[in-house]
Structure 1
Amino acid sequence: MQELKLPETLKRNVHEFVENLKELYRDDLISIALYGSAASGEFIETHSNVNLLIILKNTNLPTLELSRKLVNKRSNRRIEPLFLSHEYLLNSGDVFPIEFLDMKENHTCLYGQDVLKEIKIDPKNLRFQCEQELKSKLILLKQQYLKINPKDRTALANLLFRNLTSALHILRNLVRLKGKRPSYKKEDVLKEVSLEFGVGSGAFFKILHAKKNSAALKAGDFKTLLAELTLELDKITEIVDKL
């Protein structure tokens, strides 16, 4: 297994997890891949989980039941396994282009066949998912905003930063629509989106800065930033709608 850039304890846990899966599933196990922050270099020791994609010949419930004890073992609580069949993976790129492209571009094959290399994504499906998620996000953000006490700075901050994180995830994929591989670092993604689509990224940078200095902000500051975020997302949605 390849050397992982993880804390030693987690590294040992992942190694044992992989070895146990090999013993449990034997010939039914096709591949195990590390993806997410642990593969991209964005792993944060204090709260990031380790995402593992596990490809089996079959993922019916009796098959999954074999790994129940392993998955729920206390030492594996920070390991998040995703069990898929090979067929499901290859046939679902049209439905989950964002998720599978993220995996494809940032993964490490730990065992077996590197199946993520086989995934092919139609840019039309990627554009559709980006538009759908942007519009859904805007609707939900506005609904949630109205339900929050305007003086509750904690609730406002949570709404702001939660939507920033998910928006950045979509923005990374907008860069892919231009035929380019996006950066993983947040600041670089914002610069790339600004360059490729001609939109300002000032509001996003303000929110990133606020996240690092949130203790100094009042409820009114978070309301202002939420308004700016909503305006920027509206502009970006209009651009994507015309692509």
Structure 2
Amino acid sequence: MAELLNSDKIKSSVAPLLQGLLDDVLPAVQSAGCRLESAALFGSAASSDYAPGRSDINVYLVMDCLTLPLLKALNPVFKKHIKKLKSNPVVLDREYIAGSTDVFPMEFLEWKEQSVVFHGADPLENLEISAENLRLSIEENLRGKRLRMIQSYFELDPRRRPMQPFLMSVLPNFLVVARNILRLLDVAVSSDKAAMIGALERKSGVELKAFKRLLRIRQDGMKLGADEAEILFKQFLAEIDALIGFIDHFKTSGRAS
């Protein structure tokens, strides 16, 4: 049995699940003639946001080769563990990572800064991300999410799908973008979300009242009336527009990692 690395950084309820996965993955990979180079936990299970029984346990596996026999060998392993993990591991190789930092800069920076390697070497330790690629990715995400918010508005039915749950559902995605804007600005990212939004306000010059209001609502479990939720939706869109303008005109240089 391969011992979990960095077990002191893994929650006690998550560690046995990772150990079970690793014990099954290693022989499966070997049977396909490949080698598992790295395995890491990422997402909420690697952060203070983890909610036992509700949060997905996200894992990425880095192989020395990606072949059809490998996928076939891993398929029954993933099926065995999907119920407890709630999501299948992401399988990739170093070549894919090296060739994808220009199109997935936000995702790789999230993995790099918010993951725990529990087997092998850290494949992202020397990762370099172009600041301009990060800026473009942030702008694309903001513009795309704004468009989807507007489209979703037409699908909302106050009787069956009120506005407040919708706003709560989109907030986490925008917090990820906010973290990456701070990385682009070379600002240390606080694990405290309110402090993070405050830092973004100061550095961007964009007032983020709706962002902060949504954070308080989520934290306190408050209920909004339909009219108040619609006003908040309007303010949220305006703040997203202001951030888009800031990022669109931001001049980059060098790298972001």
TM-score, normalised via structure 2 length: 0.87
Q: Which residue of 2 aligns with 1:121?
A: 129
Matches within 5 A, 1:1-243: 1=4, 2-3=6-7, 4-8=9-13, 10-26=14-30, 28-73=35-80, 76-78=84-86, 80-149=88-157, 151-152=158-159, 154-213=161-220, 216-243=223-250
* Cα RMSD (Å): 1.9
Would you say the 8 A contact 2:10–2:116 is kept in 1? Answer: no
Kept in 1, the 8 Å contact 2:40–2:117? The answer is: yes
- Cα 1:21–1:96 change in 2 (3 A) is same
1:195 maps to a residue whose letter is R
Q: Larger % of helix: which?
A: 1
Deviations 1:196-243 (A, max 9, x none): 111112111111222345563222221111111001101111111101
User: Quick one: distance in 2 between partners of 1:239 and 1:216?
Assistant: 32
Say if 2:17 and 2:85, in contact at 8 Å, map to a contact too.
no
Provide Cα deviations, 1:162-193, integer angstroms capped at 9, x if missing partner: 22221111111000111123123321220110
**DSSP 3-state at the match of 2:128:** coil
Could you tell me which amino acid in structure 1 is paired with residue 162 of structure 2? Answer: A
Residues paired across the two proteins, number? 241
Give yes or no for contact 2:210–2:236 (8 Å, CA) kept in 1.
yes
Structure 2 unaligned runs (5+)? 251-257
Secondary structure, aligned partner of 1:111: strand
Amino acid aligned to 2:29: Y
**Which stretch has the larger CA shift, 97-106 or 139-148?**
139-148
1:52 shift after superposition: 1.1
Deviation at 1:79, TM superposition (A): 5.2
Q: CA deviation at 1:64?
A: 1.3
SS in 1 for 2:229: helix
Deviation at 1:12, TM superposition (A): 1.1
- Aligned mates of 2:35, 2:53 — CA distance in 1: 34
Paired residues of 2:58 and 2:85 also in contact (CA < 8 A): no
Q: How high is the TM-score relative to the length of structure 1? A: 0.91
- Give CA-to-partner distance per residue, 1:44-88, whole Å, 9 cap, x none: 213112111100122233211111111111554435411001110
1:233 aligned partner, one-letter code: I
Instruction: Write the distance in 2 (CA, Å) between the matches of 1:215 and 1:180.
Output: 31
- Stretches of structure 1 that go unaligned for 5 or more consecutive residues are none
Per-residue deviation, 1:107: 1.7
On the 8 A contact 2:162/2:226 being kept in 1, the answer is no
Q: Name the % identity.
A: 26
